[in-house]
Structure 1
Amino acid sequence: MLLLMFPVAMGVGLAMQTAVNAKLRGFVGSPYLSSGVSFLIAWLFLLLLSWTTHQTLVISSSFITQHPGWLWLGGLFGAIALTGNVVLFQKIGSLQTTVLPIMGQIMMSTLIDQFGLFQSPTNPLTLAKVTGLLLIIGGVILSLGLFDPRAPLLKATEQRTHRGSQLLYQIFAVLAGMLMAMQTAINGYLGTTLHSPIHAAFISFSIGVLCLILVNLFTRSHLTNLRRAFAQGRRYWWVWIGGVIGALYVLCSSWLVPLIGTGQVVVLALFGQLVFSALVENFGLFGSQVNRITRSKIIGLVIMFVGVLTVKVITF
C-alpha cells in the first residue's frame, strides 16, 4: 500500500513542474528554450546522481542491437509532451491543456495494460475496471470545472480565435498525453533491461536533451534571454527546479512500472496531479493566477478518488 503513494507523489511533482516551467517560460520568452533548460537541468542532476551512485553512463553496441528500436523513444516522447504543454497553454488555454492530455494518458495507459505493450505487465480490462476508468474521466471533467456557468462564454471566445487550427491543437493535446503514458512504459522497460532506474532515466534525458538542442538551433532561440531568467533567480530561485522534478518523475516511473504496471502508475499520478493543481490555483502558488476551488472541483476529485480505488481493487 505504501508503494502506491509514490505515483501520487509523482503527480504532485508533475503539477509543481508545470507551474514552475510556465514561470520560466515567461522569463526566457520561448517554450522550446524553457523546455531545453528544464531537460538540461534534469540531465545534470541525473549525471551527478549517476556519478555518486557509481552508475555506468554508456551503453554497449551489443545492447543497442539486441533490443527493439522503440526502447530509445522515451526521451523524445517526453521532450515533445513537455514542450507541447507549454505551447498548448497559449493556443487553447490552461483548461484544455490540462484535461485533454489527461484523457490521452488514461486512454493509452489502458491500451498498454490491456495488450502488454512495450513489455509492460498485462492487466486485462474488466467491467469493474472500465467503471472505475469512467469514474476517473467523470471526476476529471468535474474537477476542471467544465460544467462551470462561465464555460459557454469561454467556448464562444475560443471559437472566435484560432477557429481553423483549434481542432488540430486539441488533437495534439490528446496525443501529447498518450506520448506521456508511452514514455512511462518505455522507461519502465528500459530500467528493467539496464537493471538500473537511474541509468534508464539518464539515457532517456540524454536523448531528450539532444532533441531539444536541435529544436532550439532550428528555431533560433535567443539564448541571451537566459540572462533575464538568471537576473530573476534570486527572487524566483524555484524556476530552476522543474528539471529536477521531471528527472525524479522519470526515475520513479522506471522503478514502479515493472512492479505495479503502467496503468496503475499513470492513474495514481493523475490523481496527485489534479489535487495539487487545484491547491496551486487556489492559493496562487509559484506565481500562478489565483482560481479558488469550487464545489464542482471538490466533487470531481472525490469521484476520481473512488474511480482510482476501483481500478486499484481490480488490479490487485
Structure 2
Amino acid sequence: MGAFVAGALLSGQSRMNGELASISGHGLDAALWSFGSGLALLSLVVLASTRARSGFSGLRDALRHHTIQGWQCLGGVVGGLFVFCQAYAVPVAGVALFTIGVVGGQTANAIFVDRFGIGPAGRVGVSRSRVGAAVLATAGVVVAVGGRVSGTSSAVVLPVLLAVVVGALMTVQQATNGRVNVASGNPFTTAWLNFAVGTTLLLVLAVPGAVTGAFGTPSSVAAPWWAWFGGLFGIGFVAISAVAVRHLGVLQVMILMLLGQLSAAVGLDALSPATRGHITPVVVVGLVITLAAAGLAGLAASRAARRTAAAVAG
C-alpha cells in the first residue's frame, strides 16, 4: 500500500511542478522550489525530532564500518535530476509521454538493480515471472496513456529520452535510499539527505545561467495554490519508498508505484472538467493490466521468500 501511495504522490508532484514551470517560464525555477521547500520542511522536522537526528549517528557509524558506501548516500542527485526533467519535460511532451518514458526506464532497469543486489533486499534472481511483470507493467502504461498521445513531433524526442534515462536512474535511487534507510533507521533522515544533495545539485546547475543572465527570477509567481506543494509530495515519496523497497524489492515497489501513478492521474483528470473526458475505457483497461502486473510481481516475490525460508530451514 505504501508503494502505491508513493506513486500517487509522484504523479501529483509531476502535475504541480509542470504547472509551476509553465507559469514561471523556466523548469529550474520549479525544481528549485520543489527541492528547496522540501529541504526547509525536513530541516524543521529534523530539528524537532530526536529520532531523526539520531539517524545521522547511525548513518555515520555505517559509513565508518563500511556497511554502506559513500556513493550510496547520493540518491538525491537522481532526485534533483528527476524533478528538473519533470519540470522541463511535462510542459513540452505532456504528462502522458513523460510517464511512458519514466516507466519504460524504471521497469527495464529494476530487474537488473534487484539482480545485482543494489537494494537492501539483496540479490533477487531474474525469473520468468519477474520479467513478465515488467513487460506487463510497461504494456499497461502504454495502453492507458497511448490513446491520449496525439500530435507528437520531433520536439518531444529529447524530453522523452531524458525521461527514460532518469526513470532508469530512479531504480538505483530507490535501492540506495533503502540501504540508507536501513543504516539510519529513520525515513526522515533518509529524505533530508536526499533533499540536501538534490538542492545542492540544482543550485550548481543554476550558477551558469545566473552568471550569463539566462536564469534569474521567475517571470511570474501567479500559480494556483496547489502547485506549490511539490516539495511536500516529494518528501512523502522519498520517505515511503525508502521503507517499502527494504521489504518488497525494487521491481515490486516500482510496479506498485506505477499503479499509484496511473490511478492518481485518472483521479486528477476526473476532478477537472477540462480533462474528465480523458478517462476512457482504454485507460481503465490499462489500469487493469497494470494491476495484473503488480499481482504477478507480488506472486514472484512471495515465491522467492518461500524458497529462501525453505533453504534456511533446510
TM-score (ref. length: structure 1): 0.84
1:302 correspondence with 2:302: no
Q: Using a 3 Å threshold, how does the CA distance of structure 1 residues 124 and 274 change in structure 2: closer, same or farther?
A: same
Question: Any residues of structure 2 matched to 1:274-285 within 5 Å, and which?
Answer: 274-284=262-272
Once the two structures are superposed, residues 229-282 of structure 1 have per-residue CA deviations (whole angstroms, 9 ceiling, x without a partner) of 2xx36xx32222110110111111222221222222111011010111122224
Distance verdict in 2 for CA 1:246–1:128, change over 3 Å? same
Shift of 1:283: 3.1
Equivalent residue letter for 2:294: V
1:172, distance to aligned residue in structure 2 (A): 2.2
Matches within 5 A, 1:34-183: 34-54=30-50, 55-56=52-53, 64=63, 66=66, 67-144=68-145, 146=146, 148=147, 154-155=151-152, 158-159=153-154, 162=155, 167-183=157-173
Instruction: Give distance in 2, aligned partners of 1:29 and 1:302.
Output: 37
**Counterparts of 1:206 and 1:246 in 2: how far apart (Å)?**
13
Q: Aligned with 2:279: secondary structure?
A: coil
Q: One-letter code of the match for 1:94?
A: V
Q: Deviations over 1:40-73 (max 9, x none)?
A: 1111111111122223286687765644232132
Deviates more, 1:58-67 or 1:96-105: 58-67
> Gapped runs of 5+ residues in structure 2?
303-314
Q: 1:314: how far off?
A: 1.4
In structure 2, what is the Cα distance between the partners aligned to 1:219 and 1:90? 20
Counterparts of 1:198 and 1:12, CA distance in 2: 19
The corresponding residue for 1:185 is 175
CA distance in 1, matches of 2:201, 2:129: 41
1: CA distance, partners of 2:116 / 2:2: 25
Residue 126 of structure 1 and its aligned partner are, at CA, apart by 1.7
Say how many residue pairs are matched.
293
Among candidates 3, 19, 23, match of residue 19 of structure 2: 23
1:270 aligns with 2:258: yes
Q: 1:69-118 CA deviation, whole Å, 9 max, x = no partner?
A: 32132001111111112222244343321101111111121111122124
Structure 2 distance, partners of 1:128, 1:32, is 40
Residue 242, structure 1, aligned to residue 243, structure 2: no
Equivalent position to 1:223, from 189, 214, 217: 217
- Normalised by the length of structure 2, the TM-score is 0.85
Contact 2:107 2:255 in 1 (8 A): yes
Which amino acid letter does the alignment assign opposite residue 92 of structure 1?
A: A
The whole-number CA distance in structure 2 between the counterparts of 1:167 and 1:238 is 29
Aligned residues: CA RMSD: 2.4
Q: Secondary structure at the match of 2:151?
A: helix
- Range with bigger deviation, 68-77 or 304-313: 68-77
Q: 3-state DSSP class of the match of 1:44?
A: helix
Q: Deviations over 1:163-217 (max 9, x none)?
A: xxx5544332211101122111111111112222211111111011111112122
Specify whether residues 131 and 64 from structure 1 end up closer, same or farther in structure 2 by C-alpha distance, changes over 3 A only: closer
Q: Please identify, of 166-175 and 18-27, the stretch whose mean Cα deviation from structure 2 is larger.
A: 166-175
Q: Distance in 2 between matches of 1:213 and 1:120?
A: 33
* Contact kept? 2:38, 2:232, Cα under 8 Å: yes
Tell me, yes or no, if the aligned pair for 1:78 and 1:179 is still in contact at 8 Å: no
- SS of 1:154's equivalent in the other structure is coil
Aligned to 2:4: 8
Instruction: Give the equivalent residue in structure 1 for 2:309.
Output: none
1:211 maps to a residue whose letter is L
User: Which deviates further from its counterpart, 301-310 or 17-26?
Assistant: 17-26
Tell me which residue corresponds to 2:311. Answer: none
Determine helix, strand or coil for the equivalent of 1:125: coil
Distance in 1 between residues matched to 2:240 and 2:254, nearest whole Å: 12
5+ residue gaps in structure 1? none
Distance 1:290 1:24 in 2: 22
For 1:289 and 1:215, how far apart are their aligned partners in 2?
34
**In the alignment, residue 8 of structure 1 is paired with which amino acid?**
F
Q: Which 10-residue stretch deviates more, 23-32 or 240-249?
A: 23-32
- SS of the residue corresponding to residue 241 of structure 1 reads helix
Identify the range of structure 1 (127-136 vs 72-81) with the bigger mean alpha-carbon deviation: 127-136
Q: Is contact 1:21–1:242 with CA below 8 Å preserved after alignment? A: yes
| 4+ residue runs over 3 A deviation | 57-67, 90-94, 166-170, 288-291
